[in-house]
Amino acid sequence: MSAKFRYWCGECAHKTPWLDEGEGAERLAEHYRRRHPGVEPGGDFEIRSDAQPGGCLGGVARMFLWLLG
């Protein structure tokens, strides 16, 4: 399931490239550390439409971003 996720910053127009889930979340967290220090990571993500349904995958990704904050 690599290159199926793209994360969006909640503070600016930054978007990650299409990456696997873990790398995309880490890149967004790094973006927040560099560009928005002191702000809890937020934003959203999208899954490529050709990806198979992931069940609770979206919830897990949001939990990961919340825990990084």
CA atoms within 13 A on the CB side of 43: 28
* Residue found by looking up tokens 């990806």 in the block: 51
Q: Using only the alpha carbons of the chain, give its radius of gyration.
A: 11
Domain residue spans in the chain? 5-68
CB-neighbour burial class of residue 67 (10 A; exposed 0-12, middle 13-18, buried 19+): exposed
Is the pTM here over 0.75, yes or no? no
pLDDT of residue 68: 78
**Tens-binned pLDDT, residue by residue, of the chain (69 aa):** 468 999 999 999 999 999 999 999 999 999 999 999 999 999 999 999 874 555 567 777 777 777 776
